[in-house]
A and B are shown apart, each in its own frame.
Chain A
């Protein structure tokens, strides 16, 4: 593998609250190679969005406290970087898009103005070149009639079109890394497919790395090269996408897949995951999933299971992985 573009080691995010410190992300390590798509998947509260925000230091500190061994981006450790240096990096080498494109766009400025603003800050372009570049970018994200649409206000765009505008702004400075936090969750299925396809094709065109944060295993399966599954702030499994979906190893990953209705497979009842995600304020001593896990034994409840590398590629944090029975034919 080529040297990683993003190398995160032991990233920890804590929040100070009236009821004590909550660890939202617990010693998370992962790497993203150039041109690769890493998906971070998990349910709400698992720490996936906090991770994305922490990478760009978009969390308000306090209450957030970010620590770790290092967060190396293109050889530079971001953790000790000043706020000013981070600001230069954001929207430039690292860009981010969010779930709700409407609230991320300024309603009283045309989309052209907002793209130009980003171009001015991050590129050497000036004057008339700015506008023509803005039109080019809208064309690049497949917005019809970009010449005309560049002067429209955000409310004139549909949800999918707004997300395209956000992508145009994000790629304005040709970032090396794009972080997409639930970019299609608010969109309809057909539009979701369009946006995902666009992201993947732009990524190939520019050799960009993509970190895709999602709760939707289907979206992840369709787009990612590697998948990182999070539960209660910890990484429980990290695998190449084909391996993961062919044979999920962590009981949580498996449960998550079986809890989802599968198109074409008729089942009277879905496999429920009993109970609820534990509160960060009250995490169990051992494996955080143990209270809901059908394979848990006493040893699971003693201490958090170590993340063990697998023979091929990837890693799993479950001491029962090699003991848990292989699934029966449906």
Chain B
């Protein structure tokens, strides 16, 4: 088997802040195979963005290992690390903010090629036009400034820029959160098409479980710096093992008023605890409907539940898959 596109081992990311040291990612391990999409879901403050930034070397991890295509970045010299940078690229949340407002599309897409030693101007232009075609942007847009593009087109430009360096992994940090529903679909479809043609792997970070469930092969759930559950997409959806995963699924608004109304829903209470003072024991125990004394004292380890399915809960037991928790949308499966 070839080396994983990305392997993270015991990664810890901390920040020095005015309020003290903040541990954003607390000993997290995961791998992504070449061409695979791993969805990373969590609410604000869970550390998912910090993890993404550590992967693209925007923040220096406190400890742990980070390997790209089998090469461990943490043991390499700064020079060798920089040489590996093209291997891991990023698509950002805010399509406008991720583009320099004073640079034209040509410059934006040409820069990574220049940095990567494509010296010939005509060749660069040809490659830029090919990239634009790949993401569905007409070639005559090449001289436009970012504000002259629509939101969806800007995100296409961001994806093209990430593709320019032919990366093994693209970290997609909430790439559709700032977009309208109709544009979300365009961008999600584009990401999938690009993956099929280039074989790139995605670390797809999002707060939206329904988007992740659509795009990901496997899904990881994060809570306050820790991984609480990771499983193949279908498996997670059919048999969520961690109470937090179940809470997220229950809270997800569904387009099914006949079966899902907020007034009749069980809603998990409480707020996310401050990441500065995470609860002792299981971090979720302050909000967990199943919590007992043991949960406050002892942090559960990530344990295998089934093939490829791991959960960090004292109550998670290898279980037989249950039927899907919600009836699928009627108007999608039956003629009305």
Contact = CB atoms under 8 A, between A and B. Distances in A.
A219 B255 CA distance: 8
Q: Which of B250, B263, B329 has the largest count of A CB atoms less than 10 A from its CB?
A: B329
Contacts of B324: 264
Contacts of B209: 189, 263
Nearest to A270: B185
Contacts of A267: 214
B252 A215 contact: no
A266 B44 CA distance: 27
A262 B272 contact: no
A190 B255 contact: no
Contacts of B210: 218, 260-263
Contacts of A223: 261-262
A247 B183 CA distance: 23
B181 A222 contact: no
Interface string A158-172: 111100000000000
Contacts of A188: 43-44, 207, 272
Contacts of A242: 257-258
A264 B237 contact: yes
Contacts of B253: 192-193, 196, 216, 218-219, 221-222
Given A43-B181, A260-B210, A269 B189 contact: yes
Contacts of B184: 259-260, 270
Given A270-B214, A327-B336, A259 B185 contact: yes
A328 B44 CA distance: 39
A194 B269 CA distance: 7
Nearest to A46: B180
Interface in B203-227: 207-211, 213-215
A46 B150 CA distance: 15
Contacts of B188: 261, 270
Nearest to B189: A269
A308 to B, nearest CB: 19
Contact of A190 (B251, B261, B334): B251
B328 A264 contact: yes
Interface in B8-66: 43-44
A191 B207 CA distance: 12
B67 to A, nearest CB: 30
Interface string B150-163: 10100000000000
A215 B180 contact: yes
Contacts of A268: 192
Contacts of A191: 43, 271
A260 B331 contact: no
Interface residues of B, number: 58
Interface in A210-227: 215-219, 221-224
B306 interface: no
Contact of B335 (A194, A215, A269, A327): A327
B314 interface: no
A221 B265 CA distance: 13
A263 B11 CA distance: 31
Contact of A256 (B182, B207, B237, B328): B182
Given A189-B207, A200-B263, A264-B328, A270 B255 contact: no
Interface residues of A, number: 59
A117 interface: no
Contact of B333 (A159, A277, A330): A330
B185 A272 contact: yes
B268 A190 contact: yes
B329 A262 contact: yes
B180 A43 contact: yes
A273 interface: yes
Interface in A177-233: 188-194, 196-197, 200-201, 204, 215-219, 221-224
A265 interface: yes
A277 B153 CA distance: 13
Interface string B223-256: 0000000000010010000000001111111111
B326 interface: yes
A247 B255 CA distance: 12
A296 interface: no
B80 interface: no
A318 to B, nearest CB: 16
Interface string A297-328: 00000000000000000000000000000111
B320 to A, nearest CB: 18
B257 A221 contact: yes
A330 B332 contact: yes
A53 interface: no
A271 interface: yes
Given A197-B267, A246-B330, A272-B185, 13 more contacts: A188-B272, A190-B248, A191-B43, A193-B251, A197-B262, A215-B180, A215-B181, A222-B253, A222-B265, A241-B257, A247-B336, A270-B184, A330-B333
Interface of A: 43-44, 158-161, 188-194, 196-197, 200-201, 204, 215-219, 221-224, 241-242, 245-248, 255-273, 276-277, 326-330
12 contacts: A190-B267, A192-B253, A197-B262, A201-B263, A215-B180, A221-B254, A222-B265, A248-B331, A272-B185, A273-B186, A327-B331, A327-B335
